[in-house]
Structure 1
Amino acid sequence: MTGLISAACATGFTFFMTALGAAMVLFMYSDDFSDKVRRAFLGFAAGVMIAASVWSLLIPAIEESEKLGNRGWIPAAGGFTCGVAFLMLLDKVLPCFMKNSDPTHEHRKGRTAMMVFAITLHNIPEGMAVGLAFAVAARSADPALFGAAVALAVGMGIQNFPEGAAISIPLRQHGMGRLKAFICGAASGVVEPIFGVLTVLVAGAAQTVLPWFLSFAAGAMLYVVADELIPEAHLEGSRAGTICVMIGFILMMTLDVAL
């Protein structure tokens, strides 16, 4: 029970940080975005997602698999491939449910849905990782392991802040209302407490599949980055999108490694 309560509190904190980042859209001073500003924000979101895919997902997937005595590259490559294939399928299916007389509007809605889905998917194994850390700490009754679990939750919470903003701000730029963009950004983090608590309840089975979930989410995120965000950020040959990709990448990499 202690592990369950601790995991619920910890993943509740990570969800709160996602919502806090998404709330940035409520305080933006202007709704009139130039193309240069829009490309800059899309580039920033792309940089955040690239770094999160590597340091929050693929590297932990390899490490978790090796801890279980397996070859780290198998779930990393296999899960990644499945994530890419799933998003490619989703890319084909979504337009069928978004009929609109304006093809540009339809494409924009599909791109928005894919980005929200990818980051939400990425939050599932993060919630599982936090829940698993607290489940192990509760079973061992080792204060050091509990401290490590708390540190993991704090680190993930801090890195979730730019992820929340990376959803809500581009959504606003695509024409969504401020409140709705905030809700979508915050909702992407709801899966963390849900899957964190579920992982404590089924800790043994969750540890086995966690590497596959992590790498699956990485493949989904990088597909969205490569197929949608970076091409859109580089329209008309502007360097603003390129620079903001680098800024987003450096910020997220620093948070992941330092925390």
Structure 2
Amino acid sequence: MALVLSVVAFLMTLTGGLVAMRVRDRRHLVLGLAGGLILGVVAFDLVPESLEASHASVLGVPAPMIGFAVGFLLLHVIEQAAAIHQAHESEYAPHDHPHAHAPGAGRAGILAACALVAHSYVDGLSIGLGFQSGTDTGIFVALAVIAHDFADGFNTFTAASLHRADRRPAVLLLIADSLAPIVGALTTLLVTVPEAVLGPYLGFFAGVLLYLAAAEILPEAHSRHPRTLTLCSTGAGVLAVLFIVGLAE
């Protein structure tokens, strides 16, 4: 049963990525929606889930929130090292950078997409471990995973294609993200993953995603297009995740 439901998760993830591919002419709306979906996933799913998965703390601070800060700062460091902001600074003020499209541009998006793949793998683990706890628990976990896998696929393709004309890396990462839940479910047939490890990882992943949304996706969405529709897209993304999480609960 776990493998069957992980295949459904595969299909939902793939569908989300295909939708992101087909609306390239409305890129600002896609990016606005992706930013809202990421914000919703971080606030309503990843952070609460990470705090539930791990009660460990360091100096009185929950370990998942330390992971959150590390993930946020890591992406910031990578962005500064690659000078990613030079790819779109000129859209806000009359700056002149001779290497505006440096080879490092888009690296943060690829990293975030890889984090999404890892998260989808953990989703598969969650399905398998849920069924190890009992059929009812497994079905509930699987439904929650399937409910947000559309957003995962959508965000994976959008993040991986950010600042990139070549869409092949984004397609490959979308395929990897779609297959990850199946691989995760298969893994639970062989090993048991300590929940203590999942909490800090989910916090780290949430920090990576929030930085991507705040520093890359939303500024890019608002750079050259009317902002009202883009803001509506962002709000719709947040509300959609809130509704999905509410149904899952």
Bin of the TM-score, shorter chain as denominator length: 0.7 to 0.9
Show the 5 A alignment for 1:1-259.
Answer: 6-25=1-20, 27-28=22-23, 33=25, 37-66=26-55, 70=56, 74-92=62-80, 103-104=100-101, 106=103, 108-137=105-134, 146-168=135-157, 171=161, 174-177=164-167, 181-203=170-192, 205-236=193-224, 238-259=227-248
- Size of the aligned set, in residue pairs, is 231
What are the superposed Cα offsets for residues 180-202 of structure 1, whole Å, 9 maximum, x if unpaired?
Answer: 64443232233323233334533
Q: Give identity over the alignment, percent.
A: 20
Cα distance in 2 between the residues matched to 1:93 and 1:189: 30
C-alpha contact (below 8 Å) 2:124/2:182 kept by paired residues:
yes
* Structure 2 length-normalised TM: 0.77
Q: Distance in 2 between matches of 1:105 and 1:56?
A: 34
Query: What runs of 5+ residues in structure 2 fail to find an aligned partner?
Result: 85-97
Richer in helix (by share): 1
Does the CA contact (< 8 Å) of 1:114 and 1:224 recur in 2?
no
Q: Return the alpha-carbon distance in structure 1 between the equivalents of residues 185 and 22 of structure 2.
A: 30
Report deviation, 1:258. 0.8
Change (3 A) 1:256 1:40: same
Following TM superposition, the consecutive aligned residue runs of length 4 or more in structure 1 with deviations greater than 6 angstroms are: none
Q: Per-residue displacement from partner, 1:215-236 (whole Å, max 9, x unpaired)?
A: 1111111111111111112225
Q: Determine if contact 2:2/2:127 at 8 Å carries over to the other structure.
A: yes
